[in-house]
Structure 1
């Protein structure tokens, strides 16, 4: 039986609540004889600041470097609003992304048929939606220099952020998108703002060149990012894989998230480059939702996004695609049976808490496993 090294970083708020349910799913996988796990756990975010005075310790970063996959909960909360900027809880997440060189962020937006009425859009627009946004994560305006606020005198200041992309950064994220497109519906849409941004012009040129030279078998469309935002709300099922830069990816993936009805449903993956020797990528998996400190510890959090993040880890880092599919089917089965946490509850459904949803998914895994063995 293969043993996989995992690092769990529950973080703040509801992070520990939902990570508990991931531990239960990992235990189920081990008990089923599908794999074994060597699990480490450490602090990140506000919890790390309280313990160490920094948002993530060197020890935790070292463990992340050694892990086959990192599972990350959530960070932040009003408790840490006044800590210095450089050690704010979110800085732990940014350091992990930087030190592990996690340049590719994968954000699926999947609307289960059973949840179509929870979306703010009409059922026919979102039912069975399944799109994937591939966001460049370590370049662009969030990391470009100069980044500063300068004093102009006379009570005036100027805030400066710089949008910078090099060819290689666009090439590598483009290849990730096309490779994923080949495993799905063989269609990629690239989004930028080439009409007003020079970085958008370069982005468009590089994507076009990589497509022509390496991925001509994949259908490619180009779309301005603002038009893409409109089309995500108007007709999201026209898309399959969307590739875009850091800033637009941040915005577009949150738009796509709400198509599904709740941020509590959506996972994400952040991947590095393949190792030249082993082919493995550094990776981190996290739910899209925040730390929701107002419900932390109350048993109300939806664990599905965290469990789905584990499913992505099984698929993309641990070579356990069949097990990932099993977990995804278990989630769908529970939703079909009408079980809902508060964030996705509608009249006539059965409301459960964090633990109740986790237990229901485990029970559904038992049913699926028994059916497969019959």
Structure 2
């Protein structure tokens, strides 16, 4: 029995970790594997979980106080895989997936201390620790001493919904910025880079609505040349990738960077930073600048109009994206489950 602790579905409405466990569990069900997915009351608010086609094996329990920090109740004959650093109530074979070390690198104070303590406890008590990139595995060895023999690299995938819409030319002069706008995502730098290219507009997807401060900043540097869109379905986001000048992804730190591969699979050129896991995931198929700098990013945006650079990036991106799939991620993860059973 594979027992997936779906605590993450009650911690966020949507997000990369929710997508990861949705993809794993839906494939377990499709493969007729013996599997359970534990969810809690607040999970019904999760957009990703609500799209699960087959709800076979779902086990719903009432949330306890501080549920996210409690041990997860499990059956004695299972392989346990928590979606967010929880420990099983019984001693059973345990898998933990480590996505990144954002808290360790970029957060301070009590939030960091609690997160790091829980993560380290989960890692130390696991039989296998899955890292979603080699860069994350390197960070793991730095921040949490663990036997290298316990580490497995299993890359994230990308939804098959993303594809070129080649029946007609959709390309516009909009630059996409996808996801969170917190500090290390370098949103202000991205906006300033776009503002220096008078032929371009900025479209922001997800990450919550603009704050008053963000809106005032954008009105000052690029009035009338920006818009915000909320959370989009894969189909809607695929259309946006297809109809955009490029994806601008100037994050300084990523455990993987799923939007990079989504954009590439849709035939959308990518401009990103040559840092953390990004060069590992993007390969030679993106325009990578050495640091999040306004001038460097603006130059990269302008370079997409030169000669056949855009065509080269689209072709290279489609080839690079073929290296990643959720089915491959599932198969490699399932072999780990089988080894522990």
TM-score, normalised to structure 2's length?
0.30
Structure scoring higher RCO (CA < 8 A, sep ≥ 6) equals 1
More helix by share: 1
